[in-house]
């Protein structure tokens, strides 16, 4: 299995500013969008290499299950008829901020939730507190070690023996200065640490405004300090998600760089000379990047699902290629409320919202090579 997320599936209510009507019974949750971000790059028969888990309550909308089934992923539906499906309310305020609240009880996922096939995954996506991150990683590695001892299938033994990669999103509500030391303590266990810009600033107790003249240099400085404070040798690559401004990657011992968003709106591209450690002032907006953003919900989670698949694309982990995969995954998710529409091209190839994922990735790769 290529990718497993331990993020939850949630049935969302999405509320906007009047007069726009709310969207009810929408597919949501970090687990959904992370799995979808990975699935975009794994058409059948490889779609079954994407694993995730849904707790299906007695009120689970059947139209959602029908949609999930069309993706052909290894989604594990766990029947919980005694309870409601986990639901939440997302409210977009006038300033653009998204308020989030659970409407009922949630069921968190951990290492015990994994099937044997999911336990053999190459990559895991976690969204949790630092302590839960540590517990889940320890639990997965302990279970894998135990299964190796009891396995008679040589192929499964080989899969379980290979060290997996862990991609960790901190929980937004716990991104406070008091939690920063806990994050630093767990970074040696993960391969990718990915807060968004607001969460990163909240952890540090500062505000990083990329629209200010010193915003990009401040971000660079904080990423350098992040790398320096991890244990030696540093393991975790910092991937700061910047919304419409793209992403910023800090790879220990190698490079710092930014990639623009596919639908870059107000933020022009910034080129980073990682060898010299210098940044140029923003250049013209990346060609062809006019916006089609409808709802950013889930874009960051999808980015990390795509990022995980991009990491596996080359023998040596190429962070720029992985970030490009993540950027394209996010671009499909934010084009509508909910999830993009799966279809087929006249030639029989898979499309999402009528577009080939491969062709969009190639287009974007050409774009960023010209900046």
Strands 350-352 and 165-170: unpaired
Cα gap 75→177, rounded to integer Å: 36
User: Which is more confident, 317 or 42?
Assistant: 42
Q: How far apart are CA 337 and CA 21, in angstroms?
A: 12
Rg from Cα positions in the chain? 20
SS (H, E, C) the chain: CCEEECCCCEEEEEECCCCCCCEEEEEECHHHHHHHHHHCCCCCCHHHHEEEEEEEECCCCHHHHHHHHHHCCEEEEEEECCCCCCEEEEEECCCCCEEEEECCCCCCCCHHHCCHHHHCCCEEEEEECHHHHHHHHHHHHHHHHHHHHHCCCHHHHHHHHCCCEEEEEECHHHCCHHHHHHHHHHHHHCCEECCEHHHHHHHHCCCCCCCCCCHHHHHHHHHHHHHHHCCCCCCCEEEEECHHHCEEEEECCCEEEEECCCCCCCCCCCCEECCCCEECCCCCCCCCCCCCCCCCCCHHHHHHHHHHHHHCCCCCCCHHHHHHHHHHHHHHHCCCCCCCCEEECCCCCEEECCECHHHHHHHHHHHHHCC
Pairing of strands 255-259, 247-251: antiparallel
State residue 4's pLDDT score.
Answer: 98
Overall size of the chain counted in residues: 371
| Percent of the chain's residues with pLDDT above 70 | 90
CA atoms within 13 A on the CB side of 139: 15
* pLDDT, mean of residues 136-156: 95
Query: Of 65-79, 199-213, 232-246, which range is least confident?
Result: 232-246
Q: What is the tens place of the pLDDT at every residue in 81-122?
A: 999 999 999 898 887 777 889 999 999 999 999 999 999 999
CA 72 to chain CA mean position, Å: 20
The residue that leads in pLDDT, 266 or 356, is: 356
Asked whether the predicted pLDDT for residue 273 surpasses 50, the reply is: no
Residue-wise over 249-287: b if at least 16 C-beta within 10 A, else e? bbbbeebbbbbbbbbbeebebbebeeeeeebeeeeebbe
pLDDT of residue 291: 55
What is the spatial distance between Cα 152 and Cα 150, in angstroms, rounded to a whole number? 7
Q: Which tens digits make up the pLDDT trace of 335-361?
A: 988 899 999 999 999 999 999 999 999
pLDDT tens for 28-62 read 999 999 999 999 999 999 999 999 999 999 999 99
Per-residue model confidence (pLDDT) at position 232:
53
Structure tokens at 92: 């977009």
- Among the listed residues 77, 67, 12, the one whose alpha carbon sits nearest the alpha carbon of residue 36: 67
Residue 276 has what pLDDT? 31
């Amino acid at each position: 299995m290529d990718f497993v997320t331990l993020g939850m599936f949630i049935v969302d209510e999405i509320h906007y500013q009047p007069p726009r009507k709310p969207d009810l019974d929408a597919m949501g949750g970090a687990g959904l969008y992370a799995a979808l971000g990975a699935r975009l790059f794994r058409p059948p028969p490889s779609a079954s290499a994407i694993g995730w888990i849904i707790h299906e309550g007695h009120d689970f909308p059947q139209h959602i299950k029908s949609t999930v089934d069309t993706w052909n992923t290894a989604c594990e539906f766990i029947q919980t008829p005694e309870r409601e499906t986990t639901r939440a309310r997302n409210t977009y305020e006038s300033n653009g901020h998204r308020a989030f609240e659970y409407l009922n009880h949630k069921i968190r996922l951990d290492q015990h939730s994994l099937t044997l096939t999911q336990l053999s995954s190459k990559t895991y996506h976690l969204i949790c507190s630092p302590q839960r991150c540590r517990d889940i990683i320890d639990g997965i590695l302990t279970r894998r070690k135990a299964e190796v001892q009891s396995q008679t299938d040589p192929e499964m033994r080989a899969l379980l023996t290979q060290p997996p990669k862990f991609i960790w999103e901190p929980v937004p509500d716990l991104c406070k200065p008091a939690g920063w030391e806990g994050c630093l303590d767990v970074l040696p266990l993960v391969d990718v640490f990915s807060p968004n810009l607001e969460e990163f600033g909240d952890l540090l107790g500062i505000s990083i405004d990329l629209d200010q003249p010193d915003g990009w240099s401040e971000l660079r400085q904080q990423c350098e300090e992040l790398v320096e404070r991890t244990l030696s040798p540093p393991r975790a690559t910092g991937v700061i998600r910047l919304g419409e401004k793209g992403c910023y990657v800090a790879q220990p011992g190698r490079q710092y760089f930014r990639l623009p968003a596919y639908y870059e709106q107000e933020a022009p591209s910034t080129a980073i000379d990682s060898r010299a450690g210098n940044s140029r002032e923003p250049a013209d907006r990346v060609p062809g990047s006019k916006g089609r953003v409808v709802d950013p919900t889930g874009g960051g989670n999808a980015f990390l699902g795509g990022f995980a698949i991009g990491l596996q694309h080359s023998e040596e982990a190429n962070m720029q290629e992985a970030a490009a995969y993540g950027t394209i995954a996010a671009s499909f998710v934010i084009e509508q409320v909910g999830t993009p529409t799966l279809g087929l091209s006249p030639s029989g190839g898979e499309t999402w919202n009528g577009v080939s994922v491969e062709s969009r990735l190639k287009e974007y790769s050409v774009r960023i090579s010209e900046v």
